[in-house]
Amino acid sequence: MNTRDVLIIGGGHNGLVTAFYLAKAGLKPLILERRPQVGGAAITDEFHPGFRCSTLAHTAGPIRPDIVRDMQLEKHGLRWITPETCVTALSPDGRALSLYQDENKSSQSIAAFSQKDSAKYPEFEKSLGKISKVIAEVLATTPPDIDHPSNGDLWSMLKTGRALRNLGKHDMYRVLRWGPMAVADLVAEYFETELLRAVIAARGIFGTFLGPWSAGSSLQLLIRAAGDCHPAGSAFFAAGGMGALTQAMASAAQAAGVEIRTAAEVIEIRVKDGAATGVLLGTGEEISAKAVISNADPKRTLLKLTDPTHLSPDFVQKLQHYRGNGTVAKVNLALSALPNFTALKDRNGNALKGRIHIGHEIDYLERAFDASKYGNFSPHPYLEAVIPSLTDPTLAPEGKHVMSIYMQYAPYKLKGDWEDQRKALGQTVVQTLAQYAPNLPELILTHQIITPQDLEDVYGLTGGQIFHGDLALDQFFTMRPLLDWAPYRTPLDNFFLCGSGTHPGAGLTGGSGANAAREILKGLRR
């Protein structure tokens, strides 16, 4: 039987980040990835001859700057593409609102809709920027042990409290008030233009089982603003697709001493006397280790790969109720030419180089959410699309393009079978886009349609949940994934979590992986 220092189950971006930091500390981690390539949800595939696309995630979180610096990702081939346009929101009345990296340019664009909103936008961005610095500190810390806080926990809480106080009375009040709010209420306090309200509010509901009127949806906006304080978010692409990001991470990890094995499916985590001792692969091979770390979601890790009889009934019951039912589907299109969006006079596609938002008002977003409550996918969905070939021509043949579209809401728990609804889902997405780009259907060479069921079966995301569990008030910080089990450990000794089901869990930032590595090293030293 093989014996290793550390085994990491899953080669997604958080697993790669954790492995890198453990290797830099002198350990020899082995990553076991079930699929033929590392990357998890950040991969690039050719889905039609000559057409490559970020199969799932199409923008970065963005990755925490300290992780980019420590891993020296640029030296390992990563090249960022950050277009001037962050997002263009389209309205059925033929109008378009573009928001930019430059605050003044965004204000000028908003002025075409409302002078009042144009003046309020810099104020909102400034407040969000101040608050986001404090939130970023919270996201980079380890949640404290509520029952038995250590000296480090107390010091961390003291620093956070001091940072909050340093915001000043007004912004400190905003932090405490905004988090539990419905994001629809938050944006309505600042802006009168529905299109502007909707494109900012969408940041608070993306990837969750929440609508804009759901309590706590503002928390998502604050979490995402911690990495990027633009109110509606920016567009961070990797040249070559998001798979280029995780390939650079894999290269950095291997240079640090990490071993990576692909097509190595873990089917069981071995446990003896209350401690993880290794894993069993689908081939029958057993590998023992001093510590086992899972980058898979908490439910898959502890209820499927681990025999639940090794866990207390109370823990199992709580984890079974950890919410993680996906609401997102993905459609990738190979196009023979650039679609003609009727709201855009710029035929060079500059307005389309960032993200494209479809969901013109708060009520539209809420009605899209309504359908999913009853097991149906939305007939009029909220869409986030990108055309990455506009900024990275290597992704498609000359003159042709790829389009990557997130569709929400598509409930994992669908009435009926997702395979039967696959074609209808794709048609709904195309028909919705065709309201804004009438010639789109005739340009489509092929579809790639990824349902929530595919997200579970093919990509290993339990419930089709792209964040490994809902980001909500009761599943955040000390309660992610469960109260008393937030600091990246499990009830079993030498067994840890490092994926997005742990704090902070906010998409492609690498935060969960970096935080986990720090706490795992402390645990192993003890």
Summarize pLDDT for 121-150 with one digit per residue, the tens.
999 999 998 888 888 888 989 888 776 777
Whether residue 432 contacts residue 441, with contact meaning beta carbons closer than 8 Å, is answered with: no
pLDDT of residue 523: 87
Instruction: Name residues whose C-beta falls within 8 Å of residue 442's C-beta, 6 or more positions apart in sequence.
Output: none
Statement: 2-46+56-79+242-323+465-525 belongs to CATH 3.40.50.2000: no
- The region, left, alpha or beta by phi > 0 then psi within -120 to 50, assigned to residue 494 is left
Choose among 55, 54, 74: nearest CA to 65: 74
- Residue 39 pLDDT greater than 70, yes or no: yes
Q: For residue 132, what pLDDT is reported? A: 86
- Span 276-297, pLDDT tens digits: 999 999 999 999 999 999 999 9
Average pLDDT along the chain:
93
Q: Is the preceding peptide bond at 504 cis, omega within 30 degrees of 0?
A: yes
Distance CA 82, CA 353 (A): 9
DSSP for 465-512 reads -TTSS---GGGSGGGSSSTT--SSB-SSBTEEE-STTSSS--STT-HH
pLDDT in tens, 395-422: 999 999 999 999 999 999 999 899 999 9
Residue 315 in this model has a pLDDT that exceeds 90: yes
What is the pTM assigned to this prediction? Answer: 0.95
**Averaged pLDDT for residues 431-458:** 97
Give bridge partners of residue 4 from the DSSP assignment: 289
pLDDT recorded at residue 348: 61
Residue 274 has pLDDT above 70, yes or no: yes
pLDDT in the model for residue 347: 58
Could you tell me which residues are beta bridge partners of residue 489?
A: 496
For the segment 476-495, what is each residue's pLDDT rounded down to a tens digit? 989 999 988 989 999 999 99
CATH 3.30.519 domain range(s) in the chain: 325-457
Max CA distance (Å), the chain? 70
Give the pLDDT score at 175. 79
Q: At what angle do helices 13-24 and 511-525 cross, to 10 degrees?
A: 40
Q: Above 80 in pLDDT, residue 372?
A: yes
Handedness of CA 417, 420, 425, 426 (dihedral sign): positive
Contact 243, 39 (CB under 8 A): yes
Q: What distance in Å separates the CA atoms of residue 197 and residue 59, rounded to the nearest whole number?
A: 22
Please answer whether residues 385 and 341 qualify as being in contact, where contact means their C-beta atoms are separated by less than 8 angstroms. no
CA distance 384 to 381: 10
By the 10 Å C-beta count (0-12 exposed, 13-18 middle, 19+ buried), 176 is classed as exposed
* Helix, coil or strand: residue 278: strand
pLDDT of amino acid 32: 98
| DSSP per-residue string spanning 201-236 | HGGGTTTSS--TTSTTHHHHHHHHHTT--STT----
pLDDT on residue 417: 93
Lowest mean pLDDT among 141-145, 153-157, 279-283, 307-311: 153-157
Q: What is the mean pLDDT of residues 41-63?
A: 95
- What whole-number percentage of the chain has pLDDT above 90? 83
- In the predicted model, is pLDDT for residue 85 greater than 70? yes
Rounded to an integer, the average pLDDT of 9-34 is 97
**Can you tell me the mean pLDDT for 25-50?**
97
For the stretch 170-180, pLDDT in tens is 777 787 788 89
pLDDT band at 154 (very low <50, low <70, confident <90, very high): low
Q: Where in the chain is the domain with CATH 3.50.50.60?
A: 2-46+56-79+242-323+465-525
pLDDT at 241 (0 to 100): 97
| Nearest residue to 275 (alpha-carbon basis) of 297, 292, 296 | 292
Q: Is 157 exposed, middle or buried (0-12, 13-18, 19+ CB in 10 A)?
A: middle
Band (pLDDT 50/70/90 cuts) for residue 326 is very high
The pLDDT of 63-87, averaged and rounded, is 96
Q: Which of 134-143, 248-257, 440-449 has the lowest mean pLDDT?
A: 134-143
Give the torsion sign (CA, 447, 452, 456, 459). positive
CATH no., domain 325-457: 3.30.519
275-281 and 266-272: which strand pairing? antiparallel
| Identity at 6, one-letter amino acid code | V
Could you tell me if 318 and 71 are in contact, meaning their C-beta atoms sit under 8 angstroms apart? no
pLDDT 10s digits, 183-230: 999 999 999 999 999 999 999 999 999 999 999 999 999 999 988 989
Both tokens of 157, joined, read 């809480």
